[in-house]
Amino acid sequence: MARMRCTVPAARWKARPGASVRLITGRGRSGGGAPVRTRVRTLLRSLADQGTIVRSFELEDSEGSFLVRLAG
């Protein structure tokens, strides 16, 4: 099974506070069960609840990426 590595803090250092970043998760609608997308969504929810790294996020129309607004 593949492991997911969290590099969200690295993205925060390279982007301005409050910036939006696109987090690409993979194949979108054709991704079958989309286990990576599900795990990323869970991680983003947790980070948004904490409010220190992620302010908000949404799954884009293609379902292959998230648009993430960074806190700050």
Alpha helices by DSSP H, listed for 1-72, are: 8-14, 35-50
* Cβ(6)–Cβ(36) below 8 Å: no
Quote the pTM value: 0.73
Q: Tell me the per-residue pLDDT of 50-72, one tens digit each, with 9 for 90 and over.
A: 998 899 999 999 888 999 999 98
**DSSP symbol at 5:** -
Q: How many CA atoms lie within 13 A of 68 on its CB side?
A: 28
Take residue 55 and report the two structure tokens written for it.
Answer: 């302010």
Which residue in the block uniquely carries the two structure tokens 């690409």?
Answer: 24
Q: Tell me the per-residue pLDDT of 16-58, one tens digit each, with 9 for 90 and over.
A: 888 898 888 876 666 666 778 888 899 999 999 999 889 999 9
